[in-house]
Structure 1
Amino acid sequence: MIKVQVLLSTYNGEQYISEQIQSILNQTHPFISILIRDDGSTDQTIQVLEQLIKLHPDKIKLIKGTNVGVVSSFFELLRAADPEADYYCFCDQDDVWFDHKVEHAIVRLDSSIYTEVPAMVFTSTYLTDAELNRKGTWPKLPAQEPSFFNALYENIAIGATITMNRSARNLFINSKSVDSQKVLMHDWWFYLLVSAFGTVIYDNKPSMLYRQHNNNVVGGSNSIVGKLKSKWASFKRHTGKDLLHKQASEFDRIYGSRLTGELKEQLKLFLASRTRFIDRLHYARKSKLYRQSKAESLLFKFFILIGFI
């Protein structure tokens, strides 16, 4: 019996949460439980969830939390998760899963790696409007294989599509506590973590309908300037310091001593001071970090050379 636990963080999700949970209950894999943590909803989310729990008391459990934000909420779910589950799935509140999602993820993980190796699989999605009318697949097929060298610069793993094995969860919960304020997103953190110490698998077959509405619009302007503004706005906040650097520093604090070889070298190179132009030039020549787009990789190096990053 392969046990799977779905980790679902909710916040003011009354409109779509029932449909999402029903899609989880409809999975072809039979041994699934759902652990929900509500992040301090002020609408009727809790009441909707309590009604669902009455109907499925053996399948659904609820943690009523305070508002700590999406990253901390998912991290708390991981710590509270069933330690005997074989696999764990991140889940958002307003999407719809295909009934094969969990079963296909298990097949990919079981056939690709040993269970003691931290591993995760993520997939593409069908973008939809609020009524689930499909608008195309997202994201595009990665140009290069997932890797730690990519994860330091870019996240390509959509959290709601991620399934990880028990070893990946244990690597997280058995380490030092993470400062979630220094983590860009929970899915990005696990892309970093598993790519550093295990196996990351991309499946280009969509596993879910990724619902787009006013509160979760993906992307932005289609112009080059618009896209660049969107990217850098997510990296430059509050004090103006680069959150990519903060996230990498936090990863180094917790896991740096375990890294070896090129992974350790490249992380240290990324975190090294680059106040002088000669330092930035050295980094541009030696760095093996990359984004999936070659143009964006070159752009990153240019920004480093001029001291923007």
Structure 2
Amino acid sequence: MSKIEVLLSSYNGEAYIREQLNSLSSQTHTDWTIRLRDDGSSDHTLQVIKTWQSDKLSRLVLGKGKNLGVIPSFFELISQAGETNDYFCFCDQDDVWMPEKMERAVQALKGVRAEVPAMVFTSTQLTDKKLQPIKIWPSPPSKSPSFYNALYQNIAVGATITFNRAALNLIRERMPDPTKVLMHDWWFYLCVSAFGEVIYDPQPSILYRQHSNNVVGGETSPIEKLKKKWASFRKHRGSHKLVGQAQEFHRLYADKLQDAEKRQQLELFISPRTTLLQRLGYLKHSKLYRQSSIENLLFRLLMLIGYI
């Protein structure tokens, strides 16, 4: 049976983390371990984890560290991941995994050659804080996952991602500056889509709990969705974080990227666009895209006026 390591970062998660850990214990795939890094919790999270660990006689490796934030904390877990495992899952502290999550992910990834970096991600069953269903989220991608999408947009919900050892090695061999990365799951989508295979499974694999302390969460209404998209666009202004992430990818992987078109599109995206003529030239030649036609149009408009 394939060995799976779950990478879980916790922070002040005493309210829900036991329920999440219990859902890991209920997986139909039984050969798994948890590598948990607590990111400097100030509540009773560590006590809950240790009690659960004792009660369940679990296969849990617990590490404690200072508060780094979610992105650096997950990269710490990536750097510490075990050497004997075949597959790895990102895990958030406040969700609940469906029993066949690991088993389905392994079956999807077994179809990819071991030397090819690969990841699978799924939709989620969005719920309220009491796990009452709201809707399936996000909507299925209208276009296939690809590098040309990953430079503009992340469609992979981190808590649903499972990846193989080749993907882990791809990331660990050239670890990024976490301050240049928009989110750890986005970085995986970007890197794996550049060099390997990204698989989308439309069947939900987790109950994705929405509550007031979510770092990232799904929207529940068209107005809320529009607000989130606009906030996302505004966040990327000024420091040009989208371009900054692409520049970090170029710094680390340009020499490894043998696909001429991918390299050309990457370098086109990170080139200066200080004049209207440069921006018009970029839009004429760019093959990058977001999943929604409306978002694509808005993105191009913001690009045209120099907002991005």
* Class of the TM-score when normalised by the shorter of the 2 chains: over 0.9
The DSSP-based 3-state class of the residue aligned with 1:257 is coil
The DSSP-based 3-state class of the residue aligned with 1:94 is coil
Q: Which ranges of 4 or more aligned residues in structure 1 deviate by more than 6 Å?
A: none
**Partner amino acid, structure 2, of 1:229:** W
Aligned counterpart, 1:124:
123
Gaps of 5+ in 2: none
Aligned counterpart, 2:292:
293
Aligned counterpart, 1:71:
71
- In the TM superposition, residue 230 of structure 1 has moved relative to its aligned partner by 2.2
Q: 1:191 to 1:225 in 2, by over 3 A?
A: closer
- In the TM superposition, residue 233 of structure 1 has moved relative to its aligned partner by 3.4
Mapping for residues 101-116 of structure 1, pairs under 5 Å: 101-111=101-111, 113-116=112-115
Instruction: Measure, in 1, the Cα distance between the counterparts of 2:251 and 2:62.
Output: 32
Q: 1:104 to 1:249 in 2, by over 3 A?
A: same
Q: 1:44 to 1:225 in 2, by over 3 A?
A: closer
Aligned counterpart, 1:44:
44
**Partner amino acid, structure 1, of 2:126:** L
Greater Cα offset, 252-261 or 198-207: 252-261
Instruction: Please say if 1:20 is aligned against 2:20.
Output: yes
Aligned counterpart, 1:235:
236
- In the TM superposition, residue 306 of structure 1 has moved relative to its aligned partner by 1.4
Are the counterparts in 1 of residues 137 and 218 from structure 2 also a CA contact under 8 Å?
Answer: no
Instruction: Measure, in 2, the Cα distance between the counterparts of 1:233 and 1:277.
Output: 20
The DSSP-based 3-state class of the residue aligned with 1:89 is strand
**Partner amino acid, structure 1, of 2:91:** C
**Partner amino acid, structure 2, of 1:299:** L
TM (norm. structure 2) is 0.95
Aligned counterpart, 1:206:
204
Q: Which of the residues 178, 181, 184 maps onto 1:180?
A: 178
Aligned counterpart, 1:83:
83
TM (norm. structure 1) is 0.95
- In the TM superposition, residue 219 of structure 1 has moved relative to its aligned partner by 2.9
The DSSP-based 3-state class of the residue aligned with 2:167 is helix
Are the counterparts in 1 of residues 87 and 164 from structure 2 also a CA contact under 8 Å?
Answer: yes
Deviations 1:102-126 (CA, angstroms, capped at 9, x unpaired): 0000001112x10110000000000
**Partner amino acid, structure 2, of 1:231:** S
**RMSD over aligned Cα atoms:** 1.4
The DSSP-based 3-state class of the residue aligned with 1:88 is strand
Instruction: Measure, in 2, the Cα distance between the counterparts of 1:278 and 1:18.
Output: 56
- In the TM superposition, residue 55 of structure 1 has moved relative to its aligned partner by 2.8
The DSSP-based 3-state class of the residue aligned with 1:189 is helix
The DSSP-based 3-state class of the residue aligned with 2:273 is coil
Instruction: Measure, in 2, the Cα distance between the counterparts of 1:292 and 1:218.
Output: 16
Matched residues, number:
304
Deviations 1:5-41 (CA, angstroms, capped at 9, x unpaired): 0000000000100010010011000101011000000
- In the TM superposition, residue 308 of structure 1 has moved relative to its aligned partner by 1.3
Mapping for residues 214-253 of structure 1, pairs under 5 Å: 214-216=212-214, 217-219=217-219, 222-223=222-223, 226-236=227-237, 240-253=238-251
Instruction: Measure, in 2, the Cα distance between the counterparts of 1:242 and 1:18.
Output: 38
Instruction: Measure, in 1, the Cα distance between the counterparts of 2:66 and 2:57.
Output: 23
Q: 1:51 to 1:198 in 2, by over 3 A?
A: same
Greater Cα offset, 8-17 or 214-223: 214-223
Aligned counterpart, 2:263:
264
